[in-house]
Chains A and B, each alone.
Chain A
Amino acid sequence: MTGAAWADLGAADIAEAVRSRRVAAVAVAEAVLARIGERNGALNAFTRTLGERALAEARAVDAKIAAGVDPGPLAGVPYGVKDLFDVAGLTTLAGSRINADDPPAARDAVLVRRLASAGAVLLGTQNMDEYAYGFTTENAHYGPTRNPHDPARVAGGSSGGSAAAVAAGLGAFALGSDTNGSIRVPSSFCGVFGLKPTYGRLPCSGTFPFVHSLDHLGPFARSARDLALVYDALQGADDDDPICTPAGIEPATPVLSMAGELRAAVLDGWFRDMAGQEAIDAVEHVASALGAQRQVVLRDAAAARSAAYLVTATEGAALHLQRLRQRAGDFDPAVRDRLLAGALFMASMVVRAQQLRRRFRDDALALFGDADVLLAPATPCVAPEIGQQTIRIAGAEWPTRANVGVLTQPISFIGLPVVCVPMRGLLPIGVQLIGPPWREDLVLRAAARLEAAGVVSAATVG
């Protein structure tokens, strides 16, 4: 196998090859770093590459293997992180110009430390919407990330650099964050698998926040198996994150191909009304493959989306109040205006949004009495063009940047676990597989089953 071919392999295959000494971790790292050198200029997926660190981590893996020490389940697997994860020695930019004046991080984010323990090799940091407030990764300071399937189109956001990198083979997986859809939207547009775990499953320590009560972290990969493998390496309690569950690790990899019925139902109402034909077709294809006969309605999904919008604007504004006071002119103007409006908005409606949240959650949980997995489109349409101001949904034009996540927002609002699976066409589009709380195993199993049946898939593009 040539050096370049190693860069096309997934995480599980690379780890197996490295552990069995068929390839050195250093050779894999060199191959992927070379590919980043060739392709990143056109895609703008990575904001900073860490060649020396990657090679040092890869050498350490090879040394462990030579010494007969277990190098971990992700031995030599190269990956990148969204630019809001702390990386020791780098300033955590979070897609902003303002943070560039901050001191470098003293140590890695907890999830990066866990991946290092598992033998993974960090390649660099990846582009995003400023402060994660957007769905397109058209960053005013660092430029847009381009979609590997069509460079004239957006990669989605806010974790657009991470999804584009995985789609283009610039790493076997990546870490992103999802507050309102920021893993699922770019996963849909770039045609890769994405996992947003249950709210509180993975610790956020050492990451730059957006909306504490909505923030989730999770991985992108090119297969369900890789997604599960990475997710398992990320799990575990963390005393530094009060939201992270103290429950033990519940590995998904061992149950990924488990037989048994998976009861699936399709979310109707808002999730169909706000979807274009390609999104509806994708859901029907997945539903057919999973034998989903029933359609169910989640009451008040439109209001839940509105409530998520209000919580995001106001809580995000509270987080950035000092920056808005002192450096308003250094924000991306679109982000600044949204945050300033959030700062001026009335608190009574935010309380009302939180009240709806509890009731909406209870309604959603009731649906899982008759279903293990709920299906919904991830995005209303395929990736829009860069600079496209509006998208057409339900016969009307909507501002692109704020509305690409209309179908993801109600779900993250109540913290349910979701795998976004990629349907391949002229341009990819994703379907959300939504599970009950703490049942990432169910949605990963459904994803693996769809992949084994050839219904969904992701491959390196370009």
Chain B
Amino acid sequence: MAVLASAVARSLGLPIDPVYLPGIGRNLALLYEHAAKLQALDISGAQHQAPIYRP
């Protein structure tokens, strides 16, 4: 995962200062925890749309 993240960061031109790595790692782990909750749902047929309401 660290190798993949480093490769993505390089491709985006983002800084990979070693000082940032623990914080980035913590936050990536949190994002994957949240993603796991979505993975557990059956929403494959749902439309992909932000909730813009029509008055």
Contact = CB atoms under 8 A, between A and B. Distances in A.
Given A325-B14, A333-B23, A337-B24, A356 B53 contact: no
A381 B40 CA distance: 29
Given A300-B41, A324-B14, A337-B23, A358 B34 contact: no
A200 B52 contact: yes
A444 interface: no
Interface in A399-445: 402, 413-415, 437-438
A337 B24 CA distance: 5
B23 A336 contact: yes
A344 B50 CA distance: 22
A437 B53 CA distance: 7
Count class of interface residues, chain A: 35 or more
A357 B31 contact: no
B51 interface: yes
A359 B46 contact: yes
Contact of B47 (A324, A337, A343, A355): A355
Given A337-B24, A338-B27, A438-B55, A351 B48 contact: yes
A321 B12 CA distance: 8
Interface stretch (A18-26, A120-128, A304-312): A304-312
A247 B52 CA distance: 13
Interface string A324-358: 11001100011011101111111001011111111
A356 B34 contact: no
Give the interface centre of A247, A321, A325, A358 by most chain B CB atoms within 10 Å.
A358
Nearest to A345: B31
B51 A357 contact: yes
Contact of A245 (B17, B35, B51, B55): B55
Interface in B1-52: 5, 8-9, 12-15, 17, 20, 23-24, 26-28, 30-31, 33-35, 37-41, 43-44, 46-52
A334 B48 CA distance: 30
Contact of B51 (A306, A325, A333, A415): A415
Contacts of B28: 341, 344-345
Interface in A269-309: 300, 302-303, 306-307, 309
Contact of B43 (A306, A338, A355): A355
A35 interface: no
Contact of A328 (B20, B31, B52): B20
Contacts of B40: 303
Nearest to B46: A355
B46 A438 contact: no
A278 B52 CA distance: 34
A414 B48 contact: no
Contacts of B48: 351, 354-355, 358
A390 interface: no
A341 B27 contact: yes
Contacts of B20: 328, 336-337, 340
Contact of A325 (B13, B17, B38, B47): B13
A358 B38 contact: no
A337 B21 CA distance: 8
A263 interface: no
A382 B9 CA distance: 39
Nearest to A313: B31
A307 B38 contact: yes
Contacts of A343: 8-9, 12, 14
B51 A352 contact: no
Nearest to A213: B50
B55 A306 contact: no
A303 B38 contact: yes
A137 interface: no
B48 to A, nearest CB: 5
A461 interface: no
Nearest to A300: B41
A309 B34 contact: yes
Contacts of B43: 352, 355-356, 359
A198 interface: yes
Contacts of B27: 313, 337-338, 340-342
Given A343-B14, A355-B48, A198 B53 contact: yes
A189 interface: no
Given A325-B14, A438-B55, 7 more contacts: A309-B34, A337-B24, A340-B20, A343-B12, A354-B48, A355-B48, A358-B48
23 contacts: A213-B50, A303-B37, A310-B34, A324-B14, A324-B15, A328-B15, A328-B17, A337-B20, A341-B23, A341-B28, A344-B28, A349-B38, A352-B35, A352-B38, A355-B47, A356-B46, A358-B48, A358-B49, A359-B43, A359-B46, A415-B51, A415-B52, A437-B53
Going nearest first, the 5 A-B pairs with the smallest beta carbon separation are A337-B23, A341-B27, A306-B34, A247-B55, A437-B53
